Chain A
Amino acid sequence: MKHNSLWRLNVGLLVLLICLAVVSTAAGVKWYSPLTWVSADHLTQQILLTIRLPRTIAAIFVGAMLALSGQLMQNLSHNPIADPSILGVNAGAMLALMIGGLVGLNLNIVNSLWLSLLGAGVAFVIVLGLAMRRRGLDVLRFILGGTVVSSLITCIAYAVGILTNQTAQYRNLLVGGFANVTMGQVHALFVVLMILLITVACFHNELSLLILDDSTARGLGVRPARTRLIASGLVVLAASMAVAVGGNIGFVGLGVPQIINYWHPDRFDRNVAPTMLLGASFMLGVDLLAKTLDHPNELPLSALSAICGGIFLMMMLNRKHEVVA
């Protein structure tokens, strides 16, 4: 593709994101037309500012983070089906949050973040440890081992929920959702997003070279072990923050980078922006469906995400006929 196509893609995705953000803020239990926002009464403005807006922003940030962590993971493992949600990282964060809640920790923003970081980190180290071989990362072991570890942790999380009769309390974690997002969480998300973006900007050349095998990368002057460590740290940080706020949401990390790479195959760093933009739009769109489809009930976000994403991905696979490793 030509150079300007990346610009067009980015601008197009940005416009889509802005439109969705406006609609998503306007929609909910009651529809507030964007035209009336400025002239609305005090109560309406309070609802918009403290309930609607944080939810919209949180969905944007979480979607962007999940997409980025999936893209990093696919780059790290040289495999298009790698994603923190199927490799145990999200599940680890979720289990740690549940256990933290059960032992009586106050799940405020700070506690949630370090708990999910810890859980995600431990899960990722286990999966990576199972897959590392002398010559580097064994991709098949990584994917299979990750899937097994992920299912195991998810089962334990459900078991913990059922045995302690606390499933309802952890519904948000297990099925995902942005219904109770606060402005404080949005601030925390913003800080983490900035850390992620700055780190990616500083190491974009190295991270892009992770797609090569270790020997070739070293020949070009990269230290693969160090780069892998940076990428892993970013994956864990992004995924655990996303889980701490939005719960366990699948597909975004798996499907969004794939779709961008299908439209615009390019090196990692050039595809970061469109991947994050599409991830944010996707999350907003799914959240919009979750809060409006079965009005006034909330539908489970992770299930909706998996359904929309799964259908989309199957269509893509059918068109492409090949998954390039």
Chain B
Amino acid sequence: MADIITGTHLTIGYNQRVILRDQELHIPAGQITGLIGPNGSGKSTLLKAIAQINSLTAGELQLQGQPLSDFSSKQLATKLAYLAQSPEVPGDLTVATLVKLGRYAYHQGMFGADPDEKVQVQAAMLQAKVADLADRPLNSLSGGQRQRAMIAMTLAQNAEILLLDEPTTYLDLTHQLSVLNLMQCLNRDMGKTIVVVLHDLNQAARYCEHLICVHDGKLVATGTPKQVLTDDLLASVFGVKAELVTPTGCDYPQLLNTETLEDA
């Protein structure tokens, strides 16, 4: 599979703390790539660097061969849509108003008109399954509905690539699954390339075709869930041991009876 985003000699850090040192990054086109790693390993920082929210200390990121730093911030927003981990949004905005904010990059002319706004906003709300909530204020929604509304906002950007930073945090299990299923639909039906930071390794293995494990300033493992999730990696990166079981009819492993190595 061709790479849509490549990074060479990536070094990322702030305040003298180096998060990533001289690493190569490959994000395959049209797949769901999961970024995994322990807390503080730099998954979110890497995602923010791809979104050009954090700058690189050294190295270069390219989108289909073109350096990301060449794009203006508006151009970039039409190529990459980034959803922060816990976005700060006023609760009295309605879903439709929120989704319209996603169209910022398409506003043109002196007074910022957007001829496609209506159509695109409606389409984004349908895709994220929040069209029936259009006139509801955000603070009247459940956590899962709110997260889907936020995803609708990023879909209104009409970007080929979605960058999602822990979209399932603070959600209960049903809502986690509804967000992950939505992500899968967007990938399968619309061919979106998705890069997602996930904490739950079982969910990462199940929903991602490609995993990148971040640890100790390095991208320690890259590949399919089966290639990445090994006994060695679980021990050296996460400090746990588990039975790695491949469910019938699936090609990805799941962790059973996970225990920390310290207890063992």
B is a partner of A = yes
Using a CB–CB distance below 8 Å, which chain A residues touch chain B?
78, 201-202, 204-206, 208-209, 211-216, 218-223, 261, 265-267, 324
**B97 contacts A by Cβ under 8 Å:** yes
Shortest beta-carbon distance from B113 to chain A in Å? 10
Total number of residue pairs linking A and B with CB closer than 8 Å: 86
Chain A residues within an 8 Å CB radius of B84? 213, 215-216, 219
Chain B residues within an 8 Å CB radius of A261? 92
Task: Provide a sorted-by-A list of 11 A–B residue pairs whose CB atoms are within 8 angstroms.
Answer: A204-B112, A212-B87, A216-B83, A219-B51, A219-B163, A220-B153, A221-B78, A267-B97, A267-B100, A324-B90, A324-B139
Number of contact residues on B: which range applies? 35 or more
Q: Which of A216, A221, A324 has the most CB of B within 10 A?
A: A221
**B154 contacts A by Cβ under 8 Å:** yes
| C-alpha gap A221/B52 in the complex (Å) | 10
| C-alpha gap A113/B87 in the complex (Å) | 40
Nearest neighbor of B83 in chain A, beta-carbon distance: A219
A220 touches B157 (CB 8 A): yes
A215 touches B105 (CB 8 A): no
**B59 contacts A by Cβ under 8 Å:** no
Q: Shortest 7 CB-CB distances between A and B: which pairs?
A: A221-B77, A219-B82, A265-B92, A221-B105, A213-B88, A215-B84, A221-B74
Report which of B74, B78, B87, B93 forms a contact with A216, defined as CB distance below 8 A: B87
Nearest neighbor of B113 in chain A, beta-carbon distance: A205
Known: A202-B110, A215-B84. A220 touches B89 (CB 8 A): no
Using an 8 Å CB-CB cutoff, how does the interface string of B83-127 with A read, 1 for contact, 0 for none?
110011111110001001110110100111000000000000000
B87 touches A222 (CB 8 A): no
Shortest beta-carbon distance from B22 to chain A in Å? 24
Shortest beta-carbon distance from A302 to chain B in Å? 30
Main secondary structure of the interface of A (DSSP, over half): helix
| C-alpha gap A162/B16 in the complex (Å) | 52
Chain B residues within an 8 Å CB radius of A222? 73, 104
**B143 contacts A by Cβ under 8 Å:** no
| C-alpha gap A220/B89 in the complex (Å) | 13
A219 touches B112 (CB 8 A): no
Nearest neighbor of A202 in chain B, beta-carbon distance: B110
**B201 contacts A by Cβ under 8 Å:** no
A221 touches B101 (CB 8 A): no
B93 touches A265 (CB 8 A): yes
Shortest beta-carbon distance from A305 to chain B in Å? 26
| C-alpha gap A201/B82 in the complex (Å) | 27
Shortest beta-carbon distance from B94 to chain A in Å? 8
Chain A residues within an 8 Å CB radius of B92? 261, 265, 324
A220 touches B90 (CB 8 A): no
**B28 contacts A by Cβ under 8 Å:** no
A215 touches B101 (CB 8 A): no
**B191 contacts A by Cβ under 8 Å:** no
Nearest neighbor of A201 in chain B, beta-carbon distance: B111
B53 touches A205 (CB 8 A): no
Report which of B83, B101, B105, B157 forms a contact with A267, defined as CB distance below 8 A: B101
**B12 contacts A by Cβ under 8 Å:** no
**B137 contacts A by Cβ under 8 Å:** yes
**B48 contacts A by Cβ under 8 Å:** yes
| C-alpha gap A219/B156 in the complex (Å) | 12
**B81 contacts A by Cβ under 8 Å:** yes
B97 touches A266 (CB 8 A): yes
| C-alpha gap A213/B84 in the complex (Å) | 9
**B76 contacts A by Cβ under 8 Å:** yes
Chain B residues within an 8 Å CB radius of A215? 48, 53, 82, 84, 87
Using an 8 Å CB-CB cutoff, how does the interface string of B150-165 with A read, 1 for contact, 0 for none?
0001100100000100
Chain B residues within an 8 Å CB radius of A216? 82-84, 87-89
Report which of A201, A213, A223 forms a contact with B73, defined as CB distance below 8 A: A223
B111 touches A204 (CB 8 A): yes
B91 touches A324 (CB 8 A): yes
